[in-house]
Amino acid sequence: MDDSTRFALALALLPTLGLSLAALSLVLLARGRIAGRIGPVLASERASRAWLRVALTVTALAVAAVVVQWEGLPGTLALVTLAATTALLAASPLSQDADVGERGVRRGWSAREFAQIEEWRLTGEHLRWRLRGEWHACRVPLELHAALRARLQAACAERESPFRA
């Protein structure tokens, strides 16, 4: 492979690396803002990520094998780009991930303080809340219900749903 081809490959990888690092920075900033909004997490529910981890690992290994074997490819740059995009995928919350914190709730990318949710109910094993007209839920251990109910009532008692299980 000649030098111009190597240069072209490096030029193709640089924007991808730059965009991946910029997106990763934005995701980490968003996660920081979410953490600040909901406070320390009391309970979490995660969508199954086993398939995602397997897919990412297999893809990363396959791409790494190609990078190592591809003569003339700027291997270090390609591996750093691969690592950045993998970190971006790993850091991004899935739409079904949910957290209940000391000050608020999160579902996917949406996080609200308790005072900002439309309606809520704490029944059974779940805190359920309505956000933009849609109900969401997160399993909360029963031993946390009393303290959580007190926080919710202090923030927005008038929005407790009349529904009872």
Calpha distance 62→60 (Å, rounded) = 5
* Bridge partners (DSSP) listed for residue 128: 121, 137
In this predicted model, what pLDDT tens digit does every residue of 11-23 receive, in sequence order? 888 898 999 999 9
Give CA–CA dist 81/78, Å, rounded. 5
Rounded average pLDDT over 83-103: 88
For residues 110 and 131, is the Cβ–Cβ distance under 8 A? Answer: yes
The 10 Å CB-count burial string (b at 16+, else e) for 90-116 is: eebbeeebbbbbebbbbbeeebbebee
The reported pLDDT for the residue numbered 94 is 83
Q: For residue 58, what pLDDT is reported? A: 77
Q: Which residues pair with 134 in a beta bridge?
A: 131
pLDDT of residue 37: 95
Q: What is the pLDDT of residues 60-92, one digit of tens each?
A: 777 777 766 666 667 778 778 888 888 888 888
Q: Supply 101's token pair.
A: 């914190």
The structural domains of the chain, with segments of one domain joined by +, span 3-38+49-91, 98-159
Q: Rounded to the nearest 5°, which phi and psi values hold at 89? A: -65, -40
Q: What percent of the chain has pLDDT over 90?
A: 52
Q: How far apart are CA 146 and CA 154, in angstroms?
A: 12
pLDDT at 149: 95
What is the helix (H) or strand (E) element at residue 55, kind and residue range? helix 50-69
Q: How far apart are CA 35 and CA 40, in angstroms?
A: 7
Q: Would the pLDDT of 104 be above 80?
A: yes
- Average confidence (pLDDT) over 93-97: 85
Question: pLDDT tens digits for 31-47?
Answer: 999 999 999 999 999 87
* Range among 30-39, 43-52, 92-101 rated most confident: 30-39
Can you tell me the mean pLDDT for 151-158?
94
Strand order in the sheet with 41-45: 41-45, 98-101, 104-107, 110-113
